[in-house]
Structure 1
């Protein structure tokens, strides 16, 4: 092997990655701005941009006036250079979406799940069926799809041939990555749903500009993405962020994971509804989980049971956030997930107040608590950023470019 040639090639790919990432995350940018942002020479930027333009991954996006010189041409990633797919395997549905590289949705399909613990084979069936359907509905060909990201609950070990450990779903060492890859030539990546939501919010939403943040996913279950120094913290084997399974009450309510007193058992929508029923509240038997959760929130002014359950939920969530404030000292906490946003829309000030009652004063003064900006369905969007991130890291090299 020619070590020098390998080193030069790797450095060139690294520089392409730096330029492409800057254009994607901060663009449109001019060549002059790229040189300033990346600390690469003007000649290097010019040469590499010429390559990216020729390959079609970057395109011109107008121009801006410069000080005393000719206008500077702006550059952006070409939105239709390729497409990415994001899939969310939730506890009540599988959602699959196809995006262009501007992360504009081109097609969506949703499959309801009737059982709270779907078999892995059912999840794989819906994800692959959804992949085919969104490609057809968007009117693109499979070779234009750069990859698919899949978001699931639980601990995901990977990324190659990802293995999923999801106790709440009854999944033990499920080779989900291999199961999906066996049925499609499109590259597959799998990650935890809270992590994908976190990446989406850090790139496009309420996390932008923060370097130390927590993005909380509060839905049927509870999780969190931890960001330190601008990078995702995953721990030894990618299980960091299982905030929902930290103990909030010693010897407390049983959790779906098998332990007792987990935060998820008190704050997750399933746990909230269970506490409401045990307290004597009634839920319409035909209502799905989201409709039942909204009904409890709507009943606060007319039902003492609902009022107490919601008050307690705010308190538990505030205590859980305070633990994060004291433990990791984030500058920002983003509240996301469908039930988290429903709660935050009505009671975010009360949540902030509850955090202040439990957190140390100094780190509490340093944190802001904000709602997710990307909406209730941002997990699938976050999953679709996985192949985008790989594209950026590879400097724009894809199967199509590599083939010439």
Structure 2
């Protein structure tokens, strides 16, 4: 039966359940009485939906609150143990896999290091499979019990229909990699457990907007500052965020060669990989064989020694120049999108800390137009180095809410059989 605006009764019921679940998740515990105005539903609809969610085991009572008249009102909250999610961060130096409950409390985690420039597709797929198997084994959980697996990766993500999510990661050497199909073809997870694959900067943005420094803002730019740099723009028109290849904005015509192959990109000056390389080129001497994280730690110690020694002028100059490039890049985002907040996360940003942020902020506000600059706040993200992983887990969580708390259905995308199976079938035909 069609309802208002062509929606069926089932659609309306799902939307009502979704509204109640989201309000309890973000604002709970809440009473039935408070859920009415918070969701726009009638008291009768709220009672019916809550009864269903209690029967489904998604919601539980959580004490009571006094009332001006009548009996105390019972509070409701989402049961954290009513669902399990996995978040995966395919980062610059490692693949991190976390198993979380609906409250996004960590139940198990594991990491697999990547070799330098180690974005071999088979290796990454293997790390994800091994990590998922390990966290499920640690928690003694069956794969079928998962609500989904969210994965944050570098690059542009394309929905290619039956192929699933395809990754175009020019800086990591991935050319139209059918990552979802490669993950699905092993049959590690049942077909009804979905994969959600998105850009790592976007998953960082999801996490900060839901739980971190972006909560309550109507618009924000969330910057991922790691080996490279990326950004997620959140506006009222793009409430879930939109990843932008901000790191490949040209900041110097004919400048340094970027790892994407072009010249003069912001990432060639402001990413941690470029920062360490520029320090070496200027005469800096990080430890032999030092990776990006170690080199960045040593550069920071040289530029800002904690023991009262004089700062190394080469390290200090490289760090100051990086802050200026990053600030100028932020000013473009401020001018273009006029956000309420700019949030900077990622392991490199957190490692460089508040003093570096102060310099970046000063340059950003100096380069931006006065009106948007006067309205924007620039700060570090609050969720720490695992924000991309948490944000990846938000992807299946958001889908769970959108379905009104129903379990995922069987995935209908067709996964081609391995070549050996096709050949065998051909002989038997």
Q: Do both proteins adopt the same fold according to a TM-score greater than 0.5, normalized to the shorter chain?
A: yes
Cα RMSD of the aligned pairs, angstroms, is 1.7
TM superposition score normalised by structure 2 = 0.89
Distance 2:408 2:346 in 1: 34
Query: How far 1:46 moved relative to its partner?
Result: 0.5
384, 396, 406: which one aligns with 1:375: 384
Report the counterpart of residue 14 of structure 2 in structure 1: 13
Distance 1:73 1:159 in 2: 47
Distance 2:403 2:70 in 1: 34
The answer as to 2:229 corresponding to 1:222 is: yes
Distance 2:13 2:185 in 1: 33
Query: How far 1:399 moved relative to its partner?
Result: 4.4
Structure 2 gap ranges (5+): 305-310, 410-429
Match of 2:8, SS state, is helix
Report the counterpart of residue 264 of structure 1 in structure 2: 267
Distance 1:114 1:276 in 2: 22
| Aligned partners of 2:202 and 2:241 also within 8 Å | no
Runs of 4+ residues deviating >4 angstroms? 2-6
The verdict on how the C-alpha distance between 1:391 and 1:159 changes in structure 2, with shifts beyond 3 A counting, is farther
177, 186, 190: which one aligns with 2:197: 190
Report the counterpart of residue 337 of structure 2 in structure 1: 328
Deviation readout 1:18-59 (Å, 9 max, x if unpaired): 111111122111111111111110000100110011000111
| Aligned partners of 2:205 and 2:391 also within 8 Å | yes
232, 238, 242: which one aligns with 2:240: 232
Query: How far 1:397 moved relative to its partner?
Result: 0.5
Residues 24-33 or 145-154, more deviating: 24-33
Report the counterpart of residue 63 of structure 2 in structure 1: 62
Deviation readout 1:325-355 (Å, 9 max, x if unpaired): 1111000000100101222333222221111
Query: How far 1:286 moved relative to its partner?
Result: 3.0
Match of 1:111, SS state, is strand
Structure 1 gap ranges (5+): 235-239
The verdict on how the C-alpha distance between 1:159 and 1:31 changes in structure 2, with shifts beyond 3 A counting, is farther
Distance 2:103 2:69 in 1: 32
TM superposition score normalised by structure 1 = 0.94
Q: Greater Rg, structure 1 or structure 2?
A: 2
344, 347, 350: which one aligns with 2:353: 344
290, 296, 299: which one aligns with 1:287: 290
Distance 2:178 2:39 in 1: 39
The answer as to 2:203 corresponding to 1:202 is: no
Match of 2:289, SS state, is coil
Deviation readout 1:226-266 (Å, 9 max, x if unpaired): 000170343xxxxx411111111121111111111111111
| Aligned partners of 2:205 and 2:241 also within 8 Å | no
The answer as to 2:257 corresponding to 1:249 is: no
Report the counterpart of residue 237 of structure 1 in structure 2: none
The verdict on how the C-alpha distance between 1:245 and 1:125 changes in structure 2, with shifts beyond 3 A counting, is same
Match of 2:382, SS state, is coil
358, 365, 369: which one aligns with 1:360: 369
| Aligned partners of 1:214 and 1:334 also within 8 Å | yes
Match of 2:355, SS state, is helix
Match of 1:133, SS state, is helix
